């Protein structure tokens, strides 16, 4: 068969196979066009699950008469003009294929009126011959696109459409996802003439939360955590649920306002939730990632479901750490009426008899059965409980200990109390780790740190000493790449730790690393404190540990106070 140029109709139908999978795909493309046109009110009407009719009406800027025919041509767009535009795309659509592809497999009517144009004009196109007819029409400012008989001229594609109910469920989900991406726009959805969804504009935070409740349900909105984090030009905000879900049907992620289902993003989220949810459960979230448009390539998928980040490792670790920090934050106080169940939390008992453990006051928090996984809110409740309590049945000579303000451990030994800073215990543990030929552990992906001349000079001075600290760091394209760190310390934010580490004098490099790592942990949970104390009890004489690291408070003075 000789090589030949494909006819325009066939080329458009091939393109339609990439971007027009079902009625929901048509609606996504057309609604995104409306948003790019500046519309703040978009109405969607469908009949028979979109099989028979789709109508999108907006109040955007509209299309002039002289451009209506061109708008239905392939690769016609007003959103990019040169290669530089392609490298920093801020619009939702830019390929110029949607209208041409849709008109090649349906009967399409495009009606539009810009505000400056005295009358509206209508462009009518049918897929069989692709000819466009222009006629005057009555229409308010804005644009309407009506799509009739989808896939009427491609029977092979039409037979793959599902039932009316199934196709409408996909349409409903598309509108839900778009409604969460643009709170400044009102949306409505009608099916077979019946209004089923209506999302008013949401200008205030309370209104936004109300829209989230409309989309995700009241249960999600009432117990979701609010997250907000920024780092090196990246911003992540939104809502996060601790409630395990059996299906991944409440996972909404947006990159610069664009709906996204990206493998790298999904991996970062799953990694952050590791240990918080059982293996078969799914997290629920509504998250918005914002970054410089030049740092992300959205032109990697015809339907724009995936993106490619120029600093993939930085984005991955930023999402992971931001979510992990949010999950580990102390839970807000809740009244007993709002708790689904409760669980008592107690500090682990030390091994040595002369150090008396605290029989802690029962602390309650939300505690859901996660099939053996850790109970996040319940375990954090002890950290938020900052009052010393004593057991009414214990004699006064056997006072107890408790975690105070997440930073200190109060213990009793013989006739004295000792206040032990946990960061000093952590520093001692880390020193022991680095003194005995530390094992280097590779990161999942290297951490990239922008490198100026000062940081580059500091790295050159310490480059030979870093392997002794189990650090594998390389310089590449004006960035430092952290590839391996001491085993057990991967959870730390090395992009924050490395610059101050390299600024230290060569003879104090190890001490500076210990200081940074010990102070990186701002608050300890009861479980972490107990584990840390247990480690010292196993490796050193507890009495020596108390006298070396703790501040002695005579028991009589403490009881008197």
Q: Dump pLDDT digits (tens) for 502-511.
A: 888 888 888 8
Q: Using the predicted structure, report yes or no on whether residue 342 has a pLDDT greater than 50.
A: no
Q: Using the predicted structure, report yes or no on whether residue 353 has a pLDDT greater than 60.
A: no
Give the span between the Cα atoms of 195 and 176, in whole angstroms: 14
Kindly state the average pLDDT of the residues 92-112.
85
Domain ranges in the chain with CATH number 3.30.1370.100: 340-561
Identify which of 237, 307, 226, 211 has the alpha carbon closest to the alpha carbon of residue 266: 307
The pLDDT value recorded for residue 301 is 66
340-561 has CATH 3.90.79.10 classification: no
The pLDDT value recorded for residue 351 is 33
Q: Using the predicted structure, report yes or no on whether residue 379 has a pLDDT greater than 60.
A: no
- pLDDT, tens only, 154-171: 877 787 888 999 999 999
The pLDDT value recorded for residue 177 is 95
Q: Residue 75 — very low, low, confident or very high, per pLDDT cuts 50/70/90?
A: confident
Q: Which fold has domain 205-328?
A: Ribosomal Protein S5; domain 2 (3.30.230)
Range in 249-258, 393-402, 463-472, 475-484 the model is least confident about: 393-402
The pLDDT value recorded for residue 127 is 58
Output the CATH code of domain 8-199: 3.30.565.10
The pLDDT value recorded for residue 34 is 94
Contact status, residue 305 vs residue 260, Cβ threshold 8 Å: yes
- Sequence-distant (≥ 6) Cβ neighbours of residue 240 within 8 angstroms: 224, 225, 226, 227, 283, 284, 285, 287, 323, 326, 327
- pLDDT, tens only, 308-319: 888 888 899 899
Domain ranges in the chain with CATH number 3.30.565.10: 8-199
Give the span between the Cα atoms of 326 and 273, in whole angstroms: 11
What's the gap between Cα 285 and its chain centre? 7
Q: 173 vs 335, which has greater pLDDT?
A: 173
Give the span between the Cα atoms of 31 and 106, in whole angstroms: 17
Give the span between the Cα atoms of 143 and 42, in whole angstroms: 10
Give the span between the Cα atoms of 28 and 168, in whole angstroms: 13
The gap between the terminal CA atoms of the chain, to the nearest Å, is 97
Q: 532 vs 19, which has greater pLDDT?
A: 532
Q: Residue 95 — very low, low, confident or very high, per pLDDT cuts 50/70/90?
A: low
Residue 512 burial class via C-beta count within 10 angstroms: exposed 0-12, middle 13-18, buried 19 and up: middle
Per DSSP (E only), the strands in 79-180 are 107-113, 120-126, 132-137, 142-148
Kindly state the average pLDDT of the residues 263-281.
84
Q: Using the predicted structure, report yes or no on whether residue 365 has a pLDDT greater than 60.
A: no
Q: Using the predicted structure, report yes or no on whether residue 338 has a pLDDT greater than 70.
A: no
Give the span between the Cα atoms of 100 and 116, in whole angstroms: 26
Q: Using the predicted structure, report yes or no on whether residue 545 has a pLDDT greater than 80.
A: no
Q: Residue 364 — very low, low, confident or very high, per pLDDT cuts 50/70/90?
A: very low
The pLDDT value recorded for residue 395 is 28
Q: Residue 200 — very low, low, confident or very high, per pLDDT cuts 50/70/90?
A: very high
Domain ranges in the chain with CATH number 3.30.230.10: 205-328
């Amino acid at each position: 068969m000789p090589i030949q140029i494909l006819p325009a109709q066939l080329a458009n139908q091939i393109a339609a196979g990439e971007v027009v999978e079902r009625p929901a795909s048509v609606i996504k493309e057309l609604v995104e066009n409306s948003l790019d046109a500046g519309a703040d009110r978009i109405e969607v009407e469908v009949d028979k699950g979109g099989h028979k009719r789709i109508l999108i009406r907006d109040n955007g800027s509209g299309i002039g008469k002289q451009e209506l025919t061109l708008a239905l041509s392939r690769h016609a767009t007003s959103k990019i003009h040169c290669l530089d535009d392609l490298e920093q795309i801020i619009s939702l659509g830019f390929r110029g294929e949607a209208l041409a592809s849709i008109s090649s497999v349906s009967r399409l009517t495009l009606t539009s009126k810009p505000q400056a144009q005295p009358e509206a004009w209508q462009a009518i196109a049918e897929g069989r011959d692709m000819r466009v007819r222009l006629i005057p029409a009555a229409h308010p400012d804005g644009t309407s696109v009506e799509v009739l008989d989808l896939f009427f001229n491609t029977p092979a594609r039409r037979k793959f459409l599902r039932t009316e109910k199934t196709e409408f469920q996909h349409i409903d989900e598309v509108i839900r996802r778009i409604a969460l991406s643009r709170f400044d726009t009102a949306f409505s959805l009608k099916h077979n003439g019946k209004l089923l969804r209506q999302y008013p504009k949401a200008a205030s935070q309370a209104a936004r939360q109300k829209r989230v409740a409309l989309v995700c349900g009241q249960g999600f909105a009432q117990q979701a955590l609010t997250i907000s984090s920024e780092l090196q030009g990246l911003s992540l905000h939104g809502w996060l649920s601790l409630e395990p879900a059996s299906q991944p049907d409440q996972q909404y992620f947006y990159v610069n306002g664009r709906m996204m289902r990206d493998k790298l993003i999904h991996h970062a989220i799953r990694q952050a939730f590791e240990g918080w949810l059982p293996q078969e459960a799914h997290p629920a979230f509504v998250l918005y990632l914002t970054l410089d448009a030049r740092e992300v390539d959205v032109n990697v998928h015809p339907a724009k479901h995936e993106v490619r980040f120029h600093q993939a490792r930085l984005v991955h670790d930023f999402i992971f750490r931001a979510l992990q920090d949010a999950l580990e934050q102390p839970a807000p106080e809740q009244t007993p009426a709002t708790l689904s169940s409760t669980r008592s939390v107690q500090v682990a008992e030390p091994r040595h008899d002369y150090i008396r453990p605290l029989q802690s006051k029962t602390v309650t928090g939300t505690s859901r059965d996660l099939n053996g996984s850790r109970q996040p809110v319940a375990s954090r409740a002890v950290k938020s409980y900052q009052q010393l309590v004593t057991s009414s049945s214990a004699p006064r000579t056997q006072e107890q200990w408790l975690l105070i303000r997440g930073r200190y451990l109060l213990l009793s030994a013989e006739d004295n109390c000792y206040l032990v800073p946990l960061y000093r215990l952590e520093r001692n543990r880390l020193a022991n780790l680095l003194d005995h030929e530390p094992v280097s552990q590779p990161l999942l992906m290297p951490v990239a740190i922008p490198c100026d001349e000062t940081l580059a000079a500091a790295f050159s001075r310490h480059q030979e000493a870093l392997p002794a600290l189990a650090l594998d760091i390389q310089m590449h394209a004006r960035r430092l790449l952290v590839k391996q760190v001491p085993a057990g310390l991967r959870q730390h934010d090395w992009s924050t730790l490395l610059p101050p580490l390299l600024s230290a004098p060569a003879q104090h490099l190890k001490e500076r690393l210990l200081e940074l790592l010990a102070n990186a942990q701002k608050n300890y949970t009861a479980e972490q404190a107990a584990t840390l104390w247990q480690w010292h009890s196993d490796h050193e004489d507890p009495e020596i540990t108390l006298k070396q690291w703790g501040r002695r408070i005579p028991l009589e003075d403490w009881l008197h106070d």
